[in-house]
Amino acid sequence: MSDGNLTIPLLWNGLLWPLVRILFFVSLGVLAGNFIEALNWTRQVARLARPLTRLGHLSSISGASFSMAFFSGVAANTMLAEAYDQGRIEKLELILANLFNSLPRFFLHLPTVLFLTAPLIKGAAFFYVGLTLAAAVIQTGLVVLVGHFMLSPREGEEQDVTSENRKEKLTWKQALSRTWTRFQKRIGKIMCFTVPVYILFFFFNRLGLFDFARSFLSEHVSFLSWLNPQTLGIVALHVGAEFAAGLAAAGALLDASSISYRDVVLALMVGNVVATPIRALRHQFPYYVGIFKPRLAIELILVSQGFRVAVIVLVTVIYGVLSA
């Protein structure tokens, strides 16, 4: 458990600055999403994903969110939240669109992952990144498949959007004015949820609740007896510390020729799965609850993380069998 002394540097570095940074990027995402909506650019932004959205019976909003997710996950989720609140997409499509964005999210974080993995685990990075990419592709494909059978076809949507664009063409000044008006309405709701939740989680961390959860998960790994015993430390560090700590341990064992690339990849994939609950709760929930209503945010996180874990487990099992 952390000590109870709350100094000004601790409050600034551990609470205030991270909170300011989150609110800043969430605000940018809200502004970007509202600006695109104000200028009726949704159809143009959605062109990148049109073949997939057409096959999956997803709307142009979902396609635009998919395209935006390559640059900003916050902006992508803001577009979905706005569309859902306005009744332009139903709940099922909201859930599917959130899952649909797994592929652009992967590419958004790819440079960081490569920067960390390649120097530390060398050739194993190729297999690890390849497996996580495969999981993202499979998840996207499954979403398109589910949407194709569970959502209604959207014939005529393009004509509807075109006629809407002709009906109302705003100047940049008008678009900025509308964006600012929508932003003011939404940012208040975001701050009402995000700020208290983030503060609450800060004190949870100070009380040692996350450390307890990590210790519990890292100590109860008897179900992983099929892994090389030397790699259990990688899994424990992946769960108990951060991704980089598990990579550093894997790199040290590789340098000592104690384990193979296969052992490293399996340990990192398993650590990815076991660490999911804590990372979703600590990193994803505080900003999701600012964009979506709390209950909806929880539902989206549970579905997205559960689906992601299921696909990662599938990919890991296939890799383990084929590489045995």
SS3 of 8-42: the string is HHHHHHHHHHHHHHHHHHHHHHHHHHHHHHHCCCH
Residue the block writes with tokens 């050739």: 123
Question: For residues 196 and 23, is the Cβ–Cβ distance under 8 A?
Answer: no
Residues 165-220 have pLDDT tens digits of 444 566 777 777 777 887 777 777 667 766 776 777 677 667 776 566 556 655 65
Angle at the Cα of 76 from the Cα atoms of 161 and 54, rounded to 5 degrees? 45
Question: What are the boundaries of each domain within the chain?
Answer: 8-322
Please give the chain's pLDDT, 324 residues, in tens: 445 566 777 777 777 887 787 777 767 766 776 676 666 665 555 566 788 899 999 998 898 889 888 877 888 898 899 889 989 999 999 999 999 999 888 888 887 788 778 887 888 899 999 999 999 999 999 999 999 999 988 765 554 444 444 445 667 777 777 778 877 777 776 677 667 767 776 776 677 765 665 566 556 555 566 677 777 777 776 666 567 777 777 887 787 777 788 988 998 898 888 888 877 877 788 878 888 888 999 999 999 999 999 999 999 999 999 987
Q: Are 108 and 236 in contact (CB under 8 A)?
A: no
Mean per-residue pLDDT of the chain = 79
What is d(CA 125, CA 113) in angstroms, rounded to the nearest whole number? 9
For residues 72-108, b (16+ Cβ closer than 10 Å) or e, as one string? bbbbbbbbbbbbbeeeebeeebbbbbbbbbbbbbbeb
CB 218 within 8 A of CB 235: yes
